[in-house]
Amino acid sequence: MDFYVAHRVPADGEDPVLVLFLPEGDGPLPRAAAAVDEAVGGLLSRVRKSGEFPGKARETLVLHSTAKRGPRRVLLAGLGRAADLTLDGFRRAAGAAALAARGTRAGEMSIVLPATDRAPRDALAAALVEGATLAAYEFRRHRTGDDAVAEAPLARVTVVEEETSGREALDRGLALGRVLADAAAWARDVGNTPGNEGTPGFLAERAREIASESGMRLTVLERADMEREGMGGILGVARGTLEPPKFIVLEHNAGKEDLPCIALVGKGITFDSGGISIKPAENMHEMKFDKCGGVAVLATMRAVGRLRIPLRVVGIVPATENLPSGTAYKPGDVVRSLGGRTIEVLNTDAEGRMLLVDGIAYAKRFKPRCIVDLATLTGACVVALGDAASGLFSTDEALASALLRAAEGSGERAWRMPLYADYTEQIRSDVADFKNTGGRPAGACTAAALLQAHAEGTPWAHLDIAGTAWTTKDRDYLRKGATGVGPRTLVRWLLAEAGR
């Protein structure tokens, strides 16, 4: 989907599909809409008066015009009540408009950005690109024949605006929106890749592409390297699979010691069967999405490189499968993490934390200003928050609020969760420093507590994306499957950290 800007009077063109965003209610039509209404012989005001288009959020209506001049079709898209409009509300409306415009099979749409003082123009432009691109996203790689290609994709989107004075903000917003939408769509593609194809080696290949595109340093540790380093956590999990594990490290602005450093760590379990503590068969296939934290980190690195963000950013993805076998790690085993802590394995299905602790310990070598990890870590987080929000845990107030602000800007909700000392007590082991589960109570919090113990000394935040990384229902600009959660928020946060 390509985005353009055209400076002309929206009512004067002969656009195949002209999208007008309208707030709910029977107030006067916005200025551009009123001019279009006149061009198409009062069609809009008739429809408004009839009550056919109340302008509720998500609502769309396509009108054909037979007038001599003006657009051939007008696509009305509801914004809901003007006083309640948020940036994400506009992103959702843009997504709904894109799907309705695709339904016309015109292959293109022109849009008039809503006049609102609730968001700056550049943010609106970025949200337009994100909403339209992500709503129209499809994963067709494993379809064949006629089904392999979309029938009538929405290829062109033109923002039509008479005034030229806002052009710079518009271009800036569209450019940022492209990078963010592209990062999320890339994350969806990699996230949706099934376990037989989307192996740890596949993730390492994707990292190699990112490194060569943006000139990043890439280090991929193999099993033997991990043994030499003493990464007992990931190695324990990887004992059960013949698929070679990979410990992936991407460095943006490597060696530029004068730049502040930020480390990102993502859980890269390419399939989680539970291991010896095997999961029930029902819905086990969804565990191909257990790599989505790692994928979010890779997608973020890709965008960071494209935007040349002036920070040193290290992206770390410990990647392996979690399978049962004759060599698999077992309940009762004790392993030693890279951080030198011993962990008693009580449940082999609590594997994410086993690799994250090695990832976090490795991240500390870069002496980062802070560490942020993302992981589809616990079913308990899904019990607590559902798919409405990711769980945010942090030892640092400023870091937590900066991440919450960025999440808000992206429409990716995060909800702060506690890190009481009780949770660390709950994972003390009788035979080792820690055990890898604290039982059912506060499962998301005790998992975070083990990570916290390894991040100790460095400001750290953890996003449990177990409920938000994929969806089984189409919703707004999310399509069934991987949602691509993470990169849009992380990139917005990193831009703010860099003062952009």
Least Cβ distance, residue 352 to Zn ion (angstroms): 5
Judged by beta carbon distances under 5 to 8 A according to partner kind, the member of Zn ion, ligand BES, Mn ion, none in contact with residue 36 is none
Residue 272 or 373 with smaller CB distance to ligand BES: 272
Given 188, 353, 413, 479, which residue is catalytic?
353
Residue 276 C-beta: closest distance to Mn ion, Å: 11
Q: Does 333 bind Mn ion (CB under 5 A)?
A: no
Phi and psi (nearest 5°) for 315?
-110, 120
List Cβ neighbours of 301 (8 Å cut-off, separation of 6 or more). 207, 210, 216, 250, 252, 264, 313, 315
- As measured in angstroms, the least distance from the Cβ of 290 to Zn ion is 4
Contact partners, residue 410, CB within 8 Å, separation at least 6: 88, 130, 180, 488, 489, 492
Please report how close the Cβ of residue 481 comes to Zn ion at its closest, in angstroms.
17
The smaller minimum CB distance to ligand BES, of residues 347 and 426, is found at 347
Site for Zn ion in 259-288 (CB under 5 A): 269, 272
Query: Which residue of 191, 275, 352, 359 would you call a contact of ligand BES, by CB under 6 A?
Result: 352
One of 466, 482, 490, 495 touching ligand BES (CB under 6 A)? 466
> Which of these is catalytic: 279, 306, 369, 416?
279
Closest approach of Mn ion to the CB of residue 350, in Å: 6
Closest CA to 468 of 413, 419, 417, 418: 413
User: Residue 379's binding partner, choosing from Zn ion, ligand BES, Mn ion, none, with beta-carbon cut-off 5 to 8 A by kind?
Assistant: ligand BES
Examine residue 448 and tell whether it contacts ligand BES (CB under 6 A). Answer: no
Verify binding: residue 272, Mn ion, rule CB under 5 A: yes
Q: Is 279 a catalytic residue?
A: yes
Taking the CA atoms of 179, 120, 103 and 474 in sequence, report the sign of the dihedral they define.
positive
Number of residues that bind ligand BES (CB under 6 A): 16
Structure tokens at 326: 């004759």
Radius of gyration of the chain (CA): 24
Contact map string, positions 288 to 327, toward ligand BES, x by CB under 6 A: --x-------------------------------------
- Tokens in use for 232? 């007992």
Out of ligand BES, Zn ion, Mn ion, none, what residue 347 binds, judged by CB under 5 to 8 A for its kind, is ligand BES
Query: Of 45, 86, 116, 347, which one interacts with ligand BES (CB under 6 A)?
Result: 347
377 and 447 Cβ atoms separated by less than 8 Å = yes
Distance of closest approach, residue 379 Cβ to ligand BES, in angstroms: 3
**Residue of 300, 376, 390, 410 that binds ligand BES (CB under 6 A):** 376
Considering only the stretches 87-95, 210-218, 373-381, 396-404, report the one whose residues sit in contact with ligand BES under the rule CB under 6 A: 373-381
Q: Does 100 bind ligand BES (CB under 6 A)?
A: no
In the complex, what is the shortest distance from the CB of residue 316 to Mn ion, in angstroms, rounded to a whole number?
Answer: 20
Q: Give the total of residues touching Zn ion (CB under 5 A).
A: 4
CB of 354 to ligand BES, least distance (A): 9
**Out of 352, 368, 391, 467, the residue judged to bind Zn ion by CB under 5 A:** 352
| Nearer residue to ligand BES within complex by CB, 191 or 352 | 352
Q: Which is nearer to Zn ion, 15 or 321 (CB)?
A: 321
Give the residue closest to ligand BES by C-beta: 379
Residue of 207, 231, 380, 449 interacting with ligand BES (CB under 6 A): 380
Cβ proximity to Mn ion, 351 vs 497, nearer residue: 351
Decide: is 349 part of the binding site for Mn ion (CB under 5 A). yes
- By CB under 5 A, name the binding residues for Mn ion: 272, 349, 351
Q: Which residues are catalytic?
A: 279, 353
Which residues lie near ligand BES (CB under 6 A)? 272, 290, 347, 349-352, 376-380, 382, 437, 443, 466
